[in-house]
Amino acid sequence: MFRLEDLSLFVRAAALGSFSEAAREAGIPPAQVSSAIKRLETALNIRLFARSTRSLRLTVEGETWLPYALQMLDALQNGLQQINTPNDEVSGTPQQSQTNNALNDVAWNGTTLVTVGDQGTILSSQNGVADGWTDISSPAINLSLAAVAVDSNSDQFLIVGASSTVLIGDGTTNSWQSATSVPLALNLEDVVWLNPGYVAVGKNGSIITSNDGDTWTLQNSGLSITITLKAVASNGSIIVAVGTNGTILTSTGGVAWQAQPAMVNNDLNDISWDGQQFGVVGSNDTILTSPDGVTWTSHIPGTPNITFVAATQWDSSLPANPVLGAVGSAGTYVVSPNATTGFSVPTGTTQQLSGMTWVDDNVSPPYFVMVGNDGTVLTSQLQLP
């Protein structure tokens, strides 16, 4: 029996005529492509490629089998969509967000959704559906807001953004409190609550920490100023930050950070923790998983040339089978029960989707909320197989 990832890499290598190009497009080492093809050839008991130092071409058997491989990938994608998207509501239902500004992130505290975006945009909703969004932007803030996190003890939202912006509030009114002490001139990209305390990351390799969300301390990431840290997550004992050029950092307290070997050279744009593993998404179809932030596995969801911008893994509660959701460029929305076998769900939009969260209010069936450019808000229920 062969692996889905090996089948996908075979199709890529055949289309590009190069293992190196297939690896570059997938964001993995060339040796990983070579190993995948060898496994596939062993499983099929045929030789798929004729290799030399100067060229790579399909064998007669490879040319014969290629259309069947394409059919299998298409059939699997269509079959998963038919099983898991039983009606149009699941395919991404548009919601009216009350803004045309780009929305960059969204979070749920158990009773309220808050989404943040460009030009200081902050919107709230009880459930994200029925066009029920209210503008609760702070009159004093007109800067880009990049991320929002939830303090699960107090249910307070904490928002970070450009020019060292840090805001704290309950998400019900426009009364947002600005942090009183934040290192100057930092463009922050993401923030995570640590129970207790916070870690925020941003451009120029910046990392800041806080015990209360009000007073922040700049930490030494050891990174070049050319690196942007895009996202940060924690499993309760290990903090993991990811960024451009495949950057992965780990820390136990947020003060001392250790660089991990890069799995890919692609930009890593978001990270989440589902109770069992970290899930990271990025450019060029990149999805990585790790149980500990140190040992990583690369997956190929089958959406070539897509930049994944955000991911979530059942943010509100841990089910028996964690589910990874990822969104990105061209309205792409991918769902996977295990980050290995995934399927694309049609969203009806070509706008970049930049943020997502999982909502389980114990009333309606659980669903994802996704936000993106031009004020895009989509909701999508998920029926697990």
What are 29-88's pLDDT values in tens digits?
788 888 889 988 888 899 999 887 777 889 999 999 898 888 877 666 555 555 444 443
Q: According to the 3-state scheme, what is the secondary structure of the chain?
A: CCCHHHHHHHHHHHHHCCHHHHHHHHCCCHHHHHHHHHHHHHHHCCCCEEECCCCEEECHHHHHHHHHHHHHHHHHHHHHHHHHCCCHHHHCEEECCCCCCCEEEEEECCCCEEEEEHHHCEEEECCCCCCCCEECCCCCCCCCEEEEEEECCCCEEEEEECCCCEEEECCCCCCCEECCECCCCCCEEEEEECCCCEEEEEHHHCEEEECCCCEEEEECCCCCCCCCEEEEEECCCCEEEEEHHHCEEEECCCCCCEECCCCCCCCEEEEEECCCCEEEEECCCEEEEECCCCCCEEECCCCCCCCEEEEECCCCCCCCCCCEEEEEHHHCEEEECCCCCCEECCCCCCCCEEEEEEECCCCCCCEEEEEEHHHCEEEEECCCC
Q: What are the backbone dihedrals phi and psi of residue 198, each rounded to the nearest 5 degrees, phi first?
A: -140, 155
**In this structure, are residues 286 and 298 in contact, taking their beta carbons and an 8 Å threshold?**
yes
Q: What is the pLDDT of residue 165?
A: 96
Confidence band of 315 (pLDDT split at 50, 70, 90): very low
> For residue 106, what pLDDT is reported?
96
Q: What pLDDT does 79 receive? A: 56
Amino acid code (one letter) for 320: A
Whole-number percent of the chain with pLDDT over 90? 46
Compute the distance between CA of residue 322 and CA of residue 315 in angstroms, rounded to an integer: 10
Query: What percent of the chain clears pLDDT 70, i.e. is strictly above it?
Result: 86
Query: How confident is the prediction for the chain on average, in pLDDT?
Result: 85
> What is the pLDDT at residue 87?
42
- Domains of the chain and any CATH numbers: 4-84 (1.10.10.10), 88-381 (2.130.10.10)
> What mean pLDDT is predicted for residues 17-23?
84
pLDDT at 313 over 80: no
Assess whether pLDDT exceeds 50 at residue 320.
no
Closest C-alpha to 300, from 314, 284, 313, 315: 284
User: What's the confidence (pLDDT) of residue 352?
Assistant: 93
* 385: pLDDT strictly greater than 80: no
Phi and psi at residue 54, to the nearest 5°: -115, -15
Integer Cα distance of 99 and 265 in angstroms: 35
Q: What is the mean pLDDT of residues 301-320?
A: 65
Does residue 6 register a pLDDT over 50? Answer: yes
Q: For position 302, what pLDDT does the model report?
A: 64
Tens of pLDDT along 87-113? 433 346 777 777 999 999 999 998 899
pLDDT above 50 (res 317): no
Residue with tokens 């991990």: 260
pLDDT confidence of residue 303:
65
